[in-house]
Amino acid sequence: MTQALDHLLREHPVGLLFVVLAVGYLIGKTRIRGFELGSVTGVLFAGLVFGHLGYEIPANAKTFGFVLFIFSVGFQAGPSFFEVVRRDGARYFVLAMVVAATGFALTAWLAGLLEFPAGISAGLLAGAMTTTPTLAAAQDTLQSGTVALPDGMTAADAVRNVGSAYAITYLFGLVGLIVIIRTLPGVLGIDLAAEAEKEGGEEIPPAPGERISVRAFRVEVDELVGIPHRELKNRVPDSAALLGMQRGGERVEIDDDTTLQIGDEILLVAKLDRFVETPRTVGTEIAHSALLEAEPESVQIVVTRRDAVGLSLGELGVTQNYGCFLTGLSRLQVDLGSEPTLALQRGDVLSVTGPPANVEKLGERLGHLERPMIETDLLTLAVGIAAGIALGTLSVSIGGLSIGLGTAGGLLTTGLVIGWLRSVHPTFGRIPGAARWLFMELGLQMFMAAVGVSAGSGIVETLLDVGPSLALCGIVVTALPVAAGWIVGRWMGLNPAVLLGAITGAMTSGAALSVVNSAARSSVPALGYTGAYAFANVILTIAGTLIVRL
């Protein structure tokens, strides 16, 4: 049985790829004292094991995954990247640059001091900074053949060194960063929850309360009778919305002057925990009502209108002014919560539930309304990727040195531009959220599986050769950029809760962000994360190209 399985995996490397992915996801979902390793770590470890056993994954799988991942990173960041540059780019750009430059300088110095073999420095930087774009860019640059390597070393050897060093330093980069972020506020005597409140943050409600429900009730409370709808909305701002109403079996159009009468049937949408008190404050719930037959519409609205950018959720008044219910707001696929003081940026995605007419009105106010669809604009996707690869081949010669974006830089650039253009003209380039997540996640994991399998064949040799010193260097390259970012961020006046979120964004660590959000009991740190993350992906991709040329 074992021999048959071994033969199957060696004869069908595509099947091996998906076995590595499956095993990696199982490892990633394993919880150790409440901590989950995550899919990237799991797939990397699974790849290392299979690679050490002598298995191989087709090089084309790695390239395909790399292309999908890097382009998707740019496409996702495009709207926010240019908006952050325009609005508050200086502070976040400086912070991301300081964190990246500190890590880059330390890596270059340590690699030269300890005379690490070619490729090790790139893996050290990528692993310690927990940044996959750096890894991808470094390996792509080495494979391009434009980097001078020591005699006797091939590009494949250097690429393998990058992967091995990345694997050795990544775990502390992931876990160590979380430990640092978790302990830093206590060491400095900072109350993150209090700091988040200063930024207008509201405490994140417990998970069960985030579930959304639509229910019908009969009005039986005298205190509600005769009160105009505009006043009722102000009593429960953004916690519930009146979606429908009927009186005596006839539908009633709802406007600001509409008043309730005893016996009216009303349709409400709210978070599930809001309905606990509704029978006491409104009346009896109706299990079978004609109102429930006309379900409200749930859509996503992308902020694209210039006059909507900078508008706070409180000023917008999704519930009070539009009779809809805001179920979530995300930026760069990071949930930002729904604090009234949260200002909208181009590319923000609001998840909204409400009557179709109200939803349309809100969509016109903010930009582009996206109803659930399965179609992806594959033409734009294909043209964007092809153009990115072509752009990456261009270079200029300066002092005899050929300088260009490389494939990673080219794909990132076209992704950024197309993502931004779609936010301005949302008539093209449609990639639904689920499809975008699939492209990015599948591309990343295919790339990581190939990296792991390739590095696995040389991981033992790397450990024996430079393992202990490399691990210590990884600790330094993880910790000192955090310290540098903290000092510079406080000097620039960033709120501590926002700053810690920004530092995790500068190191592209979503896992560390969740720790900051939990400690702050708020989504305020996510604002800093998205600001720095938009720059970090670009800066760290360039860093991966540069570090292998030193």
Q: For residue 169, give the nearest of 369, 398, 419, 469 by alpha carbon.
A: 469
- The one-letter amino acid at 241: A
Tokens standing for residue 305:
């209108």
Tokens standing for residue 534:
């938009």
The CATH class that applies to domain 207-370 reads alpha beta
Cβ within 8 Å of residue 155, ≥6 positions away:
142, 143, 145, 147, 149
What totals of helices (H) and strands (E) does the chain contain, helices first?
Answer: 20, 14
Residue 407: Cβ-neighbour burial (10 angstroms; 0-12, 13-18, 19+): buried
Q: Quickly tell me which residue has 């499956």 as its tokens.
A: 22
Domain extent listing, the chain: 2-198+380-547, 207-370
Q: For residue 220, give the nearest of 250, 253, 260 by alpha carbon.
A: 260
Tokens standing for residue 303:
């902020």
Contact present, 119 and 160 (Cβ < 8 Å)? yes
Q: Cα-Cα-Cα-Cα dihedral of 141, 49, 176, 123, to 10°?
A: -20
What was the pLDDT predicted at 246? 83
Give per-10-residue mean pLDDT for the chain (550 aa).
77 87 88 74 87 85 86 78 66 92 95 91 92 86 83 86 89 84 86 77 45 76 79 64 78 79 79 66 75 72 85 82 80 78 84 82 86 76 90 69 69 85 75 80 88 82 84 93 94 89 87 79 79 84 86
CA angle 246, 250, 256 (to 5 degrees): 50
What was the pLDDT predicted at 491? 92
Q: For residue 485, give the nearest of 522, 528, 542, 440 by alpha carbon.
A: 528
What was the pLDDT predicted at 206? 40
What was the pLDDT predicted at 276? 63
Bridge partner residues of 352 (DSSP)? 299, 326
Which of 3.40.50, 1.10.150, 1.10.10, 1.20.1530 is the CATH number of 2-198+380-547?
Answer: 1.20.1530
What was the pLDDT predicted at 86? 65
